[in-house]
Amino acid sequence: MENSIEELIELLNDKDDFVVEDAVGQLELKGEEAIDYLIDALSNRKKNIRLHVATLLGALNDEKAIPALIKTLKDNNKLVRREASTALSRMGDAAVDPLIETLDDEDWKVRGAAAWALGNLGDEKAIPKLEKLLEDESSFVKAGARSAIDTIKK
């Protein structure tokens, strides 16, 4: 019997790694059909679900997920934020402008995650905003901006 997309998403929180791995694989195969469900699941109360969903959205690389992944940079869990940042860095050109806008966020964790993602995307138009972050009060943001600038200029 085949599981629904909603059931597969719930299985992402299973204690058995093999069950989780199978659910991830099935969701990946569903591709575009699963995108809206996955975007909704980014706000699930269970950290493991949010974590796996962010990873899946990065793998599926659907630009529709960009706004939700940007919002997920505010997640209260560091691993979920990191996965959202990684997913955004796989989205290509479509993620550059939203990430540049995010560099103005009041939350240092969000600014830092956006800087790291922009470094991975490698678009030179991010450099002016990143250079301003070299003066940020957060060492995490400064390090992300420095790393991004260095990566982009290589």
Q: Kindly report the CATH number assigned to the domain that includes residue 101.
A: 1.25.10.10
Instruction: Give the DSSP H or E segment for 58.
Output: helix 47-60
Give the model's pLDDT for residue 11: 96
Give the model's pLDDT for residue 52: 97
Q: Average pLDDT, stretch 30-36? A: 95
Give whole-number Cα distances, 116 to 1, 24, 62, in Å: 42, 25, 20
For residues 35 and 111, state if they share a domain: no
Q: Average pLDDT, stretch 22-48? A: 96
For residues 104 and 63, state if they share a domain: no
For residues 49 and 106, state if they share a domain: no
Give the model's pLDDT for residue 25: 96
Domain end marker among 91, 115, 139: 91
- Read off the pTM: 0.92
**Which domain does 114 fall in, by range?**
93-154
Q: What is the pLDDT of residues 83-112, one digit of tens each?
A: 999 999 999 999 999 999 999 999 999 999
For residues 61 and 20, state if they share a domain: yes
Give the model's pLDDT for residue 107: 95
